């Protein structure tokens, strides 16, 4: 791969983490949402760099585009924009513990990664036809899963409508 590739990958990775950090620390939900969208864009860039172009596209379309929009929509609807009066964050004591747990979690995952993974074989150039690589298995082995997700989505929609409907 090119050296150029390597640099880009790092840039986008660090950007993603920075925006995630920003997202977590924002007081107002809207700012948080926007930072999350930014994180998702960086992720889609990473996907594309890892030859998952379709997933990168979908990430932007579905995730950033659809789900985050719904979030923003709800925030606006319930005009939660202004930072709420009660300190949204838990006391310093809570944060310290959470940070501690985070560090421990991170350490564990890294330790697991190092043990489990076989040595990474050098990157092999992926075949160009990107979509067929995904479509083929999607509609052969995983057809049933595909259908199930559609049913799931239907249920979610009906649920959401019912729940959010104003009582009679």
Partner 1 sequence: MLLQHAAAGAAHPLSGSTAELLWLLPVLPLLGFIVNGLLSLTPAYHAGPADPSASPGADHFQATGASHHEEGEHAEADHAPVRHRFASIVSIVGPLVLVLSFALAASIFATMLGAGEIHTPFIQRYFSWMPAGDLNIEWAYQLDQLSVVMVLIITGVGTLIHIFSIGYMREDPGYPRYFAYLNLFVSFMLVLVLGASYPVMFIGWEGVGLCSYLLIGFWFSAKANADAGKKAFIVNRIGDFGFLVAIFLMYANLGALDFAGVAERSVQLTAGGSLVTAICLFLFLGCTGKSAQIPLYTWLPDAMAGPTPVSALIHAATMVTAGVYLVARSSFLFSLAPVAGLTVALIGGMTALFAATIGLKQWDIKKVLAYSTVSQLGYMFIAVGVGAYVAGIFHLATHAFFKALLFLGSGSVIYVMHQAYHHTHKHDDAQDMRNMGGLRRFMPVTFVLMWIATLAIAGIPIFAGFFSKDEILGAAFARAHESTLADASLLGVPGSAVLYAVYAMGLIAALLTAIYMTRMMLYTFHGENRTGEAERSHLGEAPWVMTGPLVVLAILSAFGGWLNLPAFFTDVLPVGKTASLDHWLEPVVGESALRITHGSSAHLSASTEYLLVGVAVAVAVTGILIAFARLKPSLLGTRTPAQSRASETGIERILANKYYVDEAYDAAIVNPTVQISRKLLWRGVDVGLIDGLFVNGSAWLARGLGLAGSWAQSGQVGTYAWAIVVGVLAVLGAFTVG
Partner 2 sequence: MINEALFFSAVLFTIGVVGVLTRRNAIIIFMCVELMLNAVNLTFVAFSKLYGAAGQIFVIFVMTVAAAEAAVGLAIIISIFRHRETVNLQNINLLKG
- Tell me phi and psi for residue 147, to 5 degrees: -65, -40
Triad 162, 153, 135: Cα angle to 5°: 170
Q: How far is the CB of 128 from partner 2 (least distance, A)?
A: 14
11 binds partner 2 (CB under 8 A): no
> Applying CB under 8 A, what is the total number of residues that bind partner 1?
8
Sign of the alpha-carbon dihedral angle for 121, 6, 62, 155:
positive
Interface residue with partner 2, options 7, 88, 129, 147 (CB under 8 A): 88
Q: How far is the CB of 115 from partner 1 (least distance, A)?
A: 8
Triad 62, 26, 83: Cα angle to 5°: 105
Question: Which 8-state DSSP code applies to residue 78?
Answer: T
Interface residue with partner 1, options 7, 50, 89, 109 (CB under 8 A): 109
Tally of CA atoms within 13 A in the half-sphere of 92 that contains its CB: 0
Interface residue with partner 2, options 36, 38, 45, 60 (CB under 8 A): 36
Residues in region 145-164 near partner 2 by CB under 8 A: 145, 149, 152-153, 155-157, 159-164
| Contact residues: partner 1, CB under 8 A | 90, 101, 104-105, 108-109, 111-112
């Amino acid at each position: 791969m090119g050296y150029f590739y390597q640099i880009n990958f790092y840039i986008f990775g660090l950007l993603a983490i920075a925006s995630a950090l920003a997202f977590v620390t924002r007081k107002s939900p809207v700012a948080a949402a926007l930072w999350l969208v930014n994180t998702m864009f960086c992720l889609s860039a990473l996907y594309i760099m890892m030859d998952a172009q379709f997933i990168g596209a979908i990430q932007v379309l579905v995730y950033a585009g659809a789900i985050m929009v719904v979030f923003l929509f709800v925030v606006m609807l319930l005009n939660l924009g202004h930072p709420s009066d009660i300190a949204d964050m838990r006391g310093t004591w809570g944060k310290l513990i959470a940070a501690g747990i985070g560090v421990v979690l991170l350490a564990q995952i890294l330790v697991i990664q190092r043990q489990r993974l076989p040595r990474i074989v050098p990157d092999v150039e992926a075949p160009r036809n990107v979509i067929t690589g995904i479509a083929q298995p999607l509609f052969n082995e995983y057809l049933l899963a595909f259908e199930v997700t559609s049913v799931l989505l239907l249920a979610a929609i009906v649920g959401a409508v019912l729940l959010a409907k104003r009582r009679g």
